[in-house]
Each structure stands twice: as C-alpha cells, then as structure tokens.
Amino acid sequence: MTSFDETIEYRGFNIEIHQDEIPSNPYEAYDFHAPALFYSQGSGLVEYDKCDGIADFFDRVTPSWVSRHWRKIVAIFGYSLGYTQTEFDAICKERAKESGLTLGEARLFEFSEILDGENYGGRDDFFDLLEKLYTLAGYVCLSTSFCGYSQGDYIAAFAVSTPAHKKKCGFAKGKDETPLSLETDLSTYAAWAFGDVFGYTIDGIDDASVWGFYGDNFEQNGLLDYARPEIDAHIARLARAKQAKVKALIKDRAPLAVRARAVAQIAA
C-alpha cells in the first residue's frame, strides 16, 4: 500500500481524496459477487465460492457429457495430461473393464484425478484450465491477474457465474453475468488487496464524508458521482437560504448594506 492524497476542485470546493485505512473486503462485506478463487504469494489460495465447489469442475458434469466432449477435454489439458489421446482412451477403457464402471464414468474419474493434480501447480495455469473447461460447458467465466505497486504484488484470479449464484442474485431467465462484470468483481477484490480503496471529505461542507470506493479511477469508481452532487446540493441550499433571507430583509425594509452583510454570512 502506498500513501495517497489528492484534491479535485469542483465549483469552488475542494474534494479531498484519501486512502481508506480500514477498507472492507468486498467478498466478505457484500454477497452479490460471483464465486471466485484468488491466489497470491502472501495469502495463498483464497476461496470465495459460497460452498459451490468451483475448483472441482468435474463434479458439475455427467459421465455422458464427458463422453461427448472427451477429445476436446484432452486437448484442453494438453501436455499436462501426460498421455496422447489414444493412450488416454486405452487407459479409460482398461479402468472401465477392471472396475465395472461405464466408459463415461471412467473418463470422468480420470479427468477429475488429473484436475486435482493440476490444482497443486501454478495457479495461473490452473485458473486458465478452469476457464477453458467451464467455457466448454457453457458457463460464463474469467481467468485473469492483477499487479500491485511493489515487486511480488501479484494476484491470480478466477470467477464463474454458477446456477446457484444466478438464482441467489435473481437473474431473469436468459440473463447472465458477462466477462466484463466478472472482471469488475475480481478487480474490486484486487483493489482491496493492494490498498486501492478511497474516501473523500469536502473542505467547507460539514459531514461531507464517504468511504469505500474501490480502485483509483475516481470517474469510474463512483467517488466523484457522490461528491459532486453533494456540492451541487450544498450550493443549492445556500442559494435557497440567500433567497429566503433577502426576501425577509426586503419585507423588513432593511438597508442595502445590511442585506449584503446578512447574505455574506450565509455564504460563509
């Protein structure tokens, strides 16, 4: 985390932006994010999958689905599979014969074992593998990564829109997350992890203070969308107060000099 202070002027007022020193982890504070996995050197593997088991892809598919797509799955695993397509087919047929499983069940078992082994390797590779498998199965998902400010500040991330998540969030029929919305979820977590969470105060407006804006693009993260209307509302309140005061002074036949001083005091 690096120290940050910035001032943005708007309509004569200074919006003073500072780092939020006690930011909330968005995946713990809010419940609308898609299930996700994160990996960093400091924290290791962190799972926010709402007990949905998103790392265990093959628990989500049937033996018949695997049998329809097994050649594509072999291609997805590539060199990490350790076998050619022909060799893998022979292994599965032998396992099915020995164990009494169907060929689809044997293929599902073998792929599940191989995926479990990949889970202990490089997280970028594992998350990329999950992305390809979930995409093949028709899920909206995303594997990506983020870099912080210091050497070694690196987060690998994966998110997928599962049926349980869509049901919980009330997605209408035919609607879904998009890769862009998943990236927004993941980048929000990365902003929290790297200390890129901010708040503001407004010089000259009491109690104008809001915190918890993730990311350092203040036009996009909502910070200025909150601060500018506060200034607009404050200026509008001052204008109404001045107008009411002037009307009252005119009604009381106050001298012009008295009116000017009274209005100036409102502005102050």
Are 53 and 12 part of one and the same domain? no
In a shared domain, residues 110 and 15:
no
Please tell me the number of Cα atoms within 13 Å of 129 on its side-chain side. 28
Whether 32 and 136 map to the same domain: the answer is yes
Per-residue pLDDT of the chain (268 residues), as tens digits, is 455 789 999 999 999 999 999 999 999 988 888 999 999 888 888 999 877 789 999 999 999 999 999 999 999 998 777 888 999 999 999 999 999 999 999 999 999 998 988 766 557 889 999 999 999 999 999 999 998 776 568 999 999 999 888 887 776 555 677 889 999 999 999 999 999 999 999 998 988 899 999 999 999 999 999 999 999 999 998 888 767 666 666 665 656 555 556 555 655 4
Containing structural domain, residue 107: 26-193
Report yes or no on 207 lying in a domain. Answer: no
The reply to whether 35 and 153 lie within a common domain is yes
Beta bridge partners of 39: 45, 156
b or e along 10-44 (b: 16 or more beta carbons within 10 Å of the residue's beta carbon)?
eeebbbbbebbeebeebbeeeeebbbbbbbbeeee
Quick one: 82 and 59 in the same domain? yes
Question: 79-89 burial, b for 16+ CB within 10 Å, e for fewer?
Answer: eebeeeeeebb
Stated pTM of the model: 0.82
Any domain includes 202: no
Residue 129 domain-assigned?
A: yes
Same domain, 52 and 180: yes
Question: Is 230 within a domain?
Answer: yes
| One domain for residues 10 and 38 | no
Q: What's the CA gap between 35 and 49, in Å, rounded?
A: 4
Q: How far is CA 118 from CA 80, 82, 140, 170, in A?
A: 8, 12, 21, 34
Question: Are 189 and 236 in the same domain?
Answer: no
Q: Say what the pLDDT of residue 267 is.
A: 56
Q: How far is CA 123 from the centre of its chain?
A: 18
Asked if residue 200 belongs to a domain, the reply is no
Tell whether 212 is covered by a domain.
no
Yes or no: say if 88 and 110 are a contact pair by the CB < 8 Å rule.
Answer: yes
Q: Is residue 205 part of a domain?
A: no
What domain count does the chain have? 2
Region for 182 from its dihedrals, namely left if φ exceeds 0, alpha if ψ lies in -120 to 50, beta otherwise? alpha
54, 128: one domain = yes
**Predicted local confidence at residue 81, as pLDDT:** 79
Q: What are the CA-CA distances from residue 263 to residues 156, 206, 241, 256 (Å)?
A: 58, 19, 9, 11
Residue 77 lies in a domain: yes
- CA 47 to chain CA mean position, Å: 14
Contacts 24+ apart (CB under 8 A), 114-121: 114/77, 114/80, 114/81, 114/82, 115/56, 115/57, 115/58, 118/77, 118/80, 119/55, 121/80
My answer on whether 166 and 182 are in the same domain is yes
Same-domain pairing of 33 and 134: yes
56 and 157 together in one domain = yes
Neighbours of 253 (CB within 10 A): 7
**192 and 26 Cβ atoms separated by less than 8 Å:** yes
What six digits make up the tokens of 81? 């599979």
